Homo-oligomer: A and B are copies of this chain.
Amino acid sequence: MAPQKGNLMTYRKDIQVVDATIRDGGLCNNFYFDDEFIRDLYTTNLESGVEYMEFGYKASRDLFNPEEFGKWKFCNDDDIYEIVGENDTDLKVCVMADVGRTNYKRDIVERSNSPVDLVRVATYINTMPAAIEMIEHCAKMGYETTCNIMAVSKAHREDLLEALDMIGKSPADAVYLVDSYGSLYPEEIRNLSEMYLEQMDKYGKKVGIHAHNNQQLAFANTIEACSVGVSMLDATMNGMGRGAGNCMMEQLLGFLKNPKYQLPPVLRFLEQHMDKLREDGVQWGYQTAYLLTGRLNMHPRAAISFTKEKRHDYARFYLDMDQE
């Protein structure tokens, strides 16, 4: 077992917190956030000391109809400028670009003409070459980049090792361990984190973690990864994110010991905005059906339908899913 990095009394200066509320949370409301929400979130992130704020996806308007989504599905530079101005702060702006869903040659322009600092390229293990092309483009345009390999619980170890090697040799600044299905236990997260760190250490690159809360393990998995050396930590306000959601910002900032992190601004944001979203009917967070798809290492889509339909027949759902 690798030695522990850091302890519960001190803090590590290499840790960076990424607020992914708009991006992962947008999957719950088709990115229809009002501007006041986004402005207050920006202020909250500034006050709470987090390092990055993800504004959404850089999705292609050729593939997705702008009339069916809020603007943060597309993250036009102008829309971000509207919120952050020149962003003369320590808070960096990031966006996510999905392989195969982003017209990056057209939409991701020179960083000097954009409010964006970091582009996170999201890929499955079988589209790594396309991800590397996107990373090379974004790096050439001047951006920081990460490669987020989704659904890692479905990937084979030998493929993962090769993907990590490709990322190591690319201009990417970091690779993300992404437990898309919320199916991994802390023990597995620790082993994968050690594998990612070992590969990235060779190239002087960072490792990040993006956890899902299907088994109520998103926070535990995030701090487990952190304890062995993972340094980019994703969280969202009240855990807002697809299905069971993510590691909650309020959990994570309550845990981290760096005095730069402030919990009260986050608590005020929950009170002012997140509770209201829930009252307005936006749904996310742990439910029994998510536990079951997580347990079965499956995409949560069936559990999302189950929850929306207000079904309670968990045993039937589990047996049906287990036979797929």
Q: Which residues of A pack against B, CB within 8 Å?
A: 1, 4, 8, 185-188, 213, 215-221, 223-224, 227, 238, 248, 250-251, 254-255, 263-265, 267-268, 270-271, 275, 286, 288, 291-292, 295, 312-315, 318-319
Contacts and interface: CB of A to CB of B under 8 A. Distances in A.
A255 B186 CA distance: 12
A315 B288 CA distance: 29
18 contacts: A185-B255, A186-B186, A186-B220, A186-B224, A187-B227, A213-B216, A215-B219, A215-B251, A216-B219, A216-B286, A217-B219, A220-B220, A248-B291, A267-B288, A267-B292, A267-B318, A270-B314, A271-B312
Contact of A251 (B216, B218, B318): B216
Is chain A's binding surface mostly helix, strand, loop or mixed? helix
A296 to B, nearest CB: 9
The 6 closest A-B pairs by CB, nearest first: A220-B220, A267-B315, A267-B314, A254-B295, A268-B315, A264-B315
Nearest to A314: B267
Contact of A315 (B8, B271, B286, B318): B271
Contacts of A275: 312
Contacts of A271: 312-315
Contacts of A213: 216
Contacts of A238: 288
Contacts of A318: 263-264, 267
Contacts of A223: 185-187
Nearest to A318: B267
A254 B291 contact: yes
A209 to B, nearest CB: 14
A319 B262 CA distance: 12
A265 B288 CA distance: 14
A188 B8 contact: yes
Contacts of A254: 215, 291-292, 295
Nearest to A296: B254
B288 A185 contact: no
